[in-house]
């Protein structure tokens, strides 16, 4: 991926490094937005695949929302980009506005309404808009007005295309010394205050938006040792506490936030047993509005830049779920832990990097989406972005050429959309 000035961007999934901030004032909700509520999808509308019916029969509103999403797409490496300018925008940024600088500093162009319309036209039902706030806050965690307005503009692009939109706080968590939000039991009271301050501002700004705007608590939260798995019980408990702070903060702002659908995350957004065992769904003042979010890509050798090019789990006949295969195993586990207990799930990041293996990636994407759909789970492809001369030179999970507004790999997009339908 291209780099701009002092930005160090890693072109791989969602583990970009983070931290920083700036000053300005906080703003309130947009009084003019009146998004229409989503249509309710009936259980009978969910097809049976190979005789395997949907793995749950719940009719709770949050399940309807997840089913209606179909398949989703991530606006990756864009509003989540950071420059590690701790607690202040770099004084060297004189050639453009800070908003434009940050949005483009990891190699992507400024997001346009046409970009989002292309995603909608392709058949995606939802867009996740990762947002990092670290470089846009002062030392008191007050968010710059201009940054919230730019986030809002992109949110409107999504909602105007009648898609669901998810926003979160993204590289405010993660690997490294600079993310301010960690699963740190020894510093938990301070972290709770900071997280509450940030979400009160975001929630107040978007308080009057309709049900198609969804908030996600945070991205891949790690402990102070940056462990992706095998953390300690105190750190897992800290994640549960922080998810509760998020829910309480959003609900306290009233308006449509009193009933808004919210996504809460496991430790590291993990599907591993220790993280799932330790996870506790937050208490909520309204029923059936919480969704669990995780990330799962699949076999590392296939999805990342390693030797495996073919995907051995691909079934051309889309056979029923079986034990022992990585994708199915993870999805069946999520079904047993959550869906069968009345808790809906989304996989907010999945994908596979290009190795000149488009046909296999399309099989992987279709099989992943249709298997998840059997359990009522919606999946979101992580699109890294960045520009390439052609599809052959794409070396990441990028699907959309955002400058040319066309798909590098329409086969993969079509496979996912067909599977979701």
**Active site amino acids:** 220, 349
Q: What is the DSSP letter of 397?
A: S
DSSP, res 52 = B
Cα–Cα distance for residue pair 120/127, rounded to 1 Å = 9
Tokens of 64: 């309807």
Angle between helices 358-374 and 326-337 (to 10 degrees): 20
Distance CA 103, CA 111 (A): 8
Residue 68, judged by CB atoms within 10 A of its CB (0-12, 13-18, 19+), counts as middle
Helices vs. strands in the chain: H and E counts, helices first: 11, 10
What is the 8-class DSSP label of residue 389? Answer: S
- Residue 90 CA to residue 149 CA, distance in Å, equals 20
Distance of alpha carbon 404 from alpha carbon 398, whole angstroms = 13
Dist CA 421 CA 412 (whole Å) = 14
d(CA 263, CA 58): 18
Nearest alpha carbon to residue 153 among 30, 36, 54: 30
The Cα 156–Cα 252 span in angstroms is: 24
CB 180 within 8 Å of CB 19: yes
- C-alpha–C-alpha distance, residues 74 and 350, integer Å: 10
């Amino acid at each position: 991926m291209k780099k701009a000035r002092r930005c160090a961007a890693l072109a791989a999934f969602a583990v970009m490094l983070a931290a920083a901030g700036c000053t300005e004032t906080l703003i309130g909700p947009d009084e003019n937005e009146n998004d229409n509520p989503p249509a309710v999808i009936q259980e009978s509308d969910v097809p049976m695949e190979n005789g395997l019916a949907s793995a749950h029969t719940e009719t709770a509103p949050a399940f309807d929302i997840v089913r209606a999403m179909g398949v989703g797409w991530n606006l990756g490496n864009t509003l989540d980009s950071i420059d590690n300018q701790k607690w202040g925008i770099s004084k060297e940024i004189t050639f453009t506005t800070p908003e434009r600088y940050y949005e483009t500093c990891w190699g992507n162009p400024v997001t346009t309404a046409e970009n989002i319309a292309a995603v909608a036209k392709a058949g995606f039902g939802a867009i996740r808009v990762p947002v990092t706030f670290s470089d846009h806050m002062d030392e008191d965690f007050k968010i710059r007005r201009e940054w919230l307005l730019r986030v809002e503009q992109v949110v409107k692009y999504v909602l105007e295309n009648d898609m669901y939109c998810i926003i979160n706080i993204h590289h405010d968590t993660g690997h490294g010394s600079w993310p301010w939000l960690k699963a740190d039991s020894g510093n938990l009271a301070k972290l709770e205050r900071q997280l509450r301050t940030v979400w009160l501002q975001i929630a107040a700004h978007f308080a009057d938006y309709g049900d198609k705007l969804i908030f996600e608590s945070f991205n891949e939260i790690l402990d102070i040792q940056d462990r992706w798995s095998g953390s300690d019980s105190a750190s897992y408990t800290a994640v549960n506490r922080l998810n509760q702070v998020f829910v309480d903060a959003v609900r306290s702002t009233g308006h449509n936030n009193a009933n808004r659908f919210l996504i809460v995350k496991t430790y590291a957004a993990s599907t591993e047993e220790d993280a799932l065992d330790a996870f506790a769904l937050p208490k909520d003042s309204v029923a059936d509005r919480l969704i669990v979010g995780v990330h799962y890509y699949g076999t590392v050798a296939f999805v990342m830049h390693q030797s495996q090019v073919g995907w051995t789990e691909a079934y051309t006949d889309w056979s029923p779920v079986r034990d022992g295969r990585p994708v199915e195993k993870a999805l069946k586990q999520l079904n047993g832990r959550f869906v069968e207990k009345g808790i809906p799930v989304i996989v907010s990041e999945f994908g596979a990097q290009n190795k000149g293996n488009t046909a296999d990636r399309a099989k992987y994407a279709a099989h992943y989406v249709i298997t998840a759909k059997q359990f009522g789970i919606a999946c979101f492809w992580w699109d890294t972005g960045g520009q390439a001369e052609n599809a052959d030179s794409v070396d990441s999970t990028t699907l959309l050429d955002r400058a040319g507004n066309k798909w590098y790999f329409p086969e993969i997009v079509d496979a996912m959309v067909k599977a979701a339908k």
